[in-house]
Structure 1
């Protein structure tokens, strides 16, 4: 199974909210499948200081072999990888839109995005069918009585694509935790989802989201649930839905995108490893 690898060049940068930058990239090469499904995940590859373009192994039919070649690059030259969701592919082009949450210079992606300029180049790995869900979202949603989507601002690009793919006849409830009201974004859909925007204020990340879902009066019947955002909040939501509301584990797609007070480069916790094992068991 081929792991797509290409280089991207920035062609446009704009703030869509005070804390979110939308960057439009032109890809050197882009498969027709890119942008054809919601919630497509990619790895962006950021150059090390002093590099204009990240050093990357070429595209490979062997994903594990490609990753081993990546690890073989000396650490000082090895690009930093961060996961993102494709917000949109512009029809008929090789241009893709990716949204960056601007939360200071704590990480390489946010620091890069805060200074992004036309002409800068990154690498992109994926999206790959290797990591696509076994059941496409539209099919899983259509087979359910209703749909629940919940996440924070880091999940908004994925939530937006999923809302856009909702079957018109399936009821949907959406909860999105954001820093404040200025961070709202339009969510276009052929369905009529009920969307709850939750301002975090001074609360800990995920706390307002978890409390809102716990207190919500949700539709009856068997749902399909999609959860993403801060890992601890995702874990708490999943536990509530399974133990408190009787939702089958198989009906929940969940991903911890980030960890409060930890970076992607920090070692996984025992809970992170348990989540990963459960996701693999259910895939």
Structure 2
């Protein structure tokens, strides 16, 4: 269940895709590290600046700047909203790792160990061993580790009441936040949300997804496959089958598709070529690329 207060979301109607005009860089400290599932590392980050943070949407993502142990994040002054360019302009020894993650929870009114008021953000990092710099940093993170976050913006909007939401494990935190937002502010629309979740197995998913949402959303389908290629094949088969059967989801006017790049492209192709959705109505976002490390 989300702990993000309603007042932390700028627009509760979200008729269009939200956006953020600025790119603040907020120093933070790791205060807790937990594992909701075997392959999920949840980092709780604390900063007084989070008390005033306003999200643009429920699936807001942020840049997590992760310095080497014992180092703080140096001052970063992004020009416009180009955080990557600002980080790359730093001297190599001072340059933190930058990766992007969804805001899983935002608590704007908490208390720091010293008794001072602060705010907290939870970030879920999918880890499969030392499979990438972000995973390595998350696996080694301990309370007291310094970092910084830069809120970037949301992606999802309520452009159409009936929607298809497709997420691989990296996008499930954002998906769950969308469902929680809809339940809290537009509960009558939950039945028109058709959800497809992809995973290699239970280790990739925070427990409780099916128990919490199966009776509320229009459809909740889980597609499993040992590899991303298998998951892509299974989900395109599922969506094509829905089209042939006239499944209610095929009446969606908008789709939110997030996860691995090739998988998202395959899903978009089915939605446009088979379902007949306009390309502009399929909002797909690459969270990662199979076989390629993010810059």
Which TM-score band (shorter chain)?
A: 0.7 to 0.9
1:246-276 CA distance string (max 9 Å, x none): 01122211101111111112xxxxxxxxxxx
Counterpart Cα distance in 2 of 1:254 and 1:202: 20
Which residue is 1:158 aligned to?
A: 174
Task: Please say if residues 56 and 123 of structure 1, whose CA atoms lie closer than 8 Å, have aligned partners that are also in contact.
Answer: no
Which residue is 2:125 aligned to?
A: 100
Corresponding residue SS for 1:111: helix
Structure 2 counterpart of 1:43, from 55, 63, 68 = 63
Counterpart Cα distance in 1 of 2:257 and 2:218: 16
Task: Please say if residues 169 and 205 of structure 2, whose CA atoms lie closer than 8 Å, have aligned partners that are also in contact.
Answer: no
Which residue is 2:81 aligned to?
A: 63
1:35-91 CA distance string (max 9 Å, x none): 46311010001114x542222325x68435x66543321223211211111001025
2:194 is aligned with 1:173: yes
TM-score by length of 1: 0.80
Which residue is 2:7 aligned to?
A: none
What are the residue-to-residue correspondences of 1:122-137 with 2, within 5 Å?
Answer: 122-127=147-152, 131-133=153-155, 137=157
Structure 2 counterpart of 1:211, from 237, 242, 248 = 237
Counterpart Cα distance in 2 of 1:70 and 1:183: 30
Counterpart Cα distance in 1 of 2:180 and 2:34: 22
Counterpart Cα distance in 1 of 2:173 and 2:40: 11
Which residue is 2:113 aligned to?
A: none
2:280 is aligned with 1:250: yes
* Structure 1 residues 31 and 250: CA distance shift in structure 2, 3 A: farther
Counterpart Cα distance in 2 of 1:147 and 1:8: 35
Which residue is 1:272 aligned to?
A: none
Corresponding residue SS for 1:53: coil
Counterpart Cα distance in 2 of 1:222 and 1:176: 17
Counterpart Cα distance in 1 of 2:196 and 2:130: 27
Deviation of 1:104 after TM superposition, in Å, equals: 1.7
TM-score by length of 2: 0.77
Structure number with the bigger relative contact order (C-alpha 8 A, sep ≥ 6) is 2
Counterpart Cα distance in 2 of 1:125 and 1:202: 32
Task: Please say if residues 151 and 229 of structure 1, whose CA atoms lie closer than 8 Å, have aligned partners that are also in contact.
Answer: yes
Gaps spanning 5+ residues in structure 2: where?
A: 1-20, 111-118
* Structure 1 residues 107 and 181: CA distance shift in structure 2, 3 A: closer
Deviation of 1:108 after TM superposition, in Å, equals: 1.2
Which residue is 2:34 aligned to?
A: 14
Corresponding residue SS for 1:253: strand
